[in-house]
Amino acid sequence: MDNAASRLGQCAVSSIRAMPISLSASAAPILDVQGLAFARNEEPVFGPLDFALDRGETLLVEGDNGSGKTTLLRVLAGLLQASAGEIRFDGQPLAHDALHGQMVFLGHQPGMKNDLSPCENLAFLSGLYGAREGADVGSALAQVDLAIYADTPLRMLSAGQKKRAALARLALLPGELWLLDEAYANLDRRGIEMVNALVASHCSRGGAALLTSHGAVRFADPHARHVRLELAA
């Protein structure tokens, strides 16, 4: 177990890394970030960051509101351009067009139309991104326990149900890298466990996930491989 803690500017990194169980040795980490910084209107939003995410790993980015977690995720997804630093995906410098289709991004907002049902929303998304082998809209909704509300317009669902509908995307769309912003927001205990199970099964199949959260969250599996990155506001 490697337990290294170091202060880099505004961040504290502590890593708990166990031996990967059934991963082929992949040479480059799926995500490698060096010196990444972002400033808006000349105000620094998050300072120089260095971390790497291997396949099979889950990275939890914790920080208070306004500490720049959402911005970090958007920079990694390619929606924003960093002010400084380098991002490497699979060892290659990041060309964001190449990243499309290999990543599932869950932003702050649900990313779905309120007037459509979860079923229709997911059908649209899978029309754009495709679907995993063996997965379809029905099975994805079943996984998030939303099968009953499959045909109800999102507008009529509660916040937690909307979040589940958004999370159903994870069970449907292909993508090695998951970028989840506030994955636990609006969810009850069962919902949180559901997210953890989704992430765990994703990572055990060789994917990687980066989650942000503003509160301390206990992972269901204490042996899960995760790296905690704390952004000080």
Partner 1 sequence: MSLATAIRSDLRQTSPPRGTHACRALLRRELLLAWRRRSDVLFPVLYALIVVTLFPFALGPEDALLTRISGGVLLVTVLLAMLPNLESMFRGDLEDGSLEQMLLAPQPLALLVLVRVLTHWATTTLPLIVVMPLLALLLRLPIEVLPVLLIALLLATPLLALMGAILSALTAGTRRSAILLALMLLPLAVPVVIFAAGAVAAAQSGLPYLAPLLWLAAALILALVLAPFACAAALRIAVET
Partner 2 sequence: MNIIPLWLHKLSSPPVFYRFAGALRPWFLWSALILGAAALYGGLVLAPPDYQQGDAFRIIFIHVPCAWMSLFAYFCMAVAALVAMVWRIKLAEVIAMECAPIGAAFTLITLITGSLWGKPMWGTWWTWDARLTSELVLLFLYLGVIGLFNAIEDRRRGARAASLLALVGIVNLPIVHYSVLWWNTLHQGQTVNLIGQSKIAPAMLWPLLLMVLATHLYFVASLLARARVGLLAVEGGKQWARELIAEKADA
Q: Which is nearer to partner 1, 15 or 55 (CB)?
A: 55
Residue 226 · residue 16 · CB < 8 Å: yes
Residue 87 · residue 76 · CB < 8 Å: yes
Q: Could you say which of 153, 219, 221, 230 contacts partner 1 (CB under 8 A)?
A: 153
Scanning 39-47, 70-78, 132-140, 177-185 for contacts with partner 2 by CB under 8 A, the matching segment is 39-47
Site for partner 2 in 147-166 (CB under 8 A): none
Q: How far apart are CA 143 and CA 58, in angstroms?
A: 20
Q: How far apart are CA 195 and CA 181, in angstroms?
A: 12
Among candidates 59, 41, 46, which has minimal Cα distance to 10? Answer: 46
Q: Does 118 bind partner 1 (CB under 8 A)?
A: no
101 binds, among partner 2, partner 1, none (CB under 5 to 8 A by kind): partner 1
Token pair listed for 167: 């999370």
Residue type, 118: P
Q: Which is nearer to partner 1, 11 or 46 (CB)?
A: 46
Q: Does 3 bind partner 2 (CB under 8 A)?
A: no
Q: Which is nearer to partner 2, 108 or 113 (CB)?
A: 108
Enumerate binding residues for partner 2 (CB under 8 A).
40-43, 81
